[in-house]
Structure 1
């Protein structure tokens, strides 16, 4: 009798899978990241606006992403992310969210007022869902002047 072996990754992905997936999604959606570039993905009520805020050499790029929702108040408020891309490690991490400039690491979240222990993971998961939604709907990055 053959037993099907399940890899450890299938049961529980490694700790950086979310950051790796965000990197891959961003690079698929935004193949050209040059300093000062601005892009819009999608249109209408749910566009994602992206600005390359800073290009810190060949290894790191800082992005600002924001959603635009318009409607009768039943839609969620606009989202704003600050994302750091580490090209050499092939990772993307949310460093700021909404009006919060710095999300404390897990070990410091208890001392920080109003943060959950897994706040970083939650915000990176939200970015992942937004990027997957863009990809699912076939949004293409259109560079803005």
Structure 2
């Protein structure tokens, strides 16, 4: 974005709408609570949507935060790798935010464009919007496979 300043063009970077972003993260927090497994480290839940399997696992639990990992596995092609999001839930602020994806470094609030890694200027917002869409699909259409022990632990 260019703005005139004393007759010279000044280049300003991408500026994210904070209220819009906070609202997105608040919605993601509420949706995430609906699909979380038991809140203890190592707990895991599988959610099926169509031919895809999603796994939510609890990586870390602290007093004010919970770190979860969301992994997507599919049977579409062996050439497509699995997708992964690392998400932190902030219980005091009641927001959920993607902080890492596909084993990459932490997601920055914004990126200069163009950049060597081809990140979008608003990549952080887009990842959190994707998380929102995914959580909504899980809540509305997801199925949790039941793991019944028909023998009640007896062999």
Q: TM-score range by the shorter chain?
A: 0.7 to 0.9
Q: Does 1:15 align with 2:21?
A: yes
Please list every run of 5 or more consecutive structure 1 residues that lacks an aligned counterpart in the other structure: 1-12
Q: Does 1:80 align with 2:84?
A: yes
The number of aligned residues is: 127
Structure 2 partner of 1:89? 93
With the length of structure 1 as denominator, give the TM-score of the two structures: 0.75
Describe the superposition over 1:69-123 as per-residue Cα deviations: whole angstroms up to 9, x where unpaired. 102479x7532100011011111000011131311122xx118632221000001
The 5 Å alignment of 1:1-145 reads 14-30=20-36, 32-42=38-48, 45-55=51-61, 57-72=62-77, 77-106=81-110, 109-110=111-112, 113-114=116-117, 115-140=119-144
Please list every run of 5 or more consecutive structure 2 residues that lacks an aligned counterpart in the other structure: 1-18, 148-155
Q: Which has the larger radius of gyration?
A: 2
Change (3 A) 1:43 1:110: closer
Structure number with higher helix proportion = 1
Check the 8 A contact 2:66/2:90 in 1, yes or no: yes
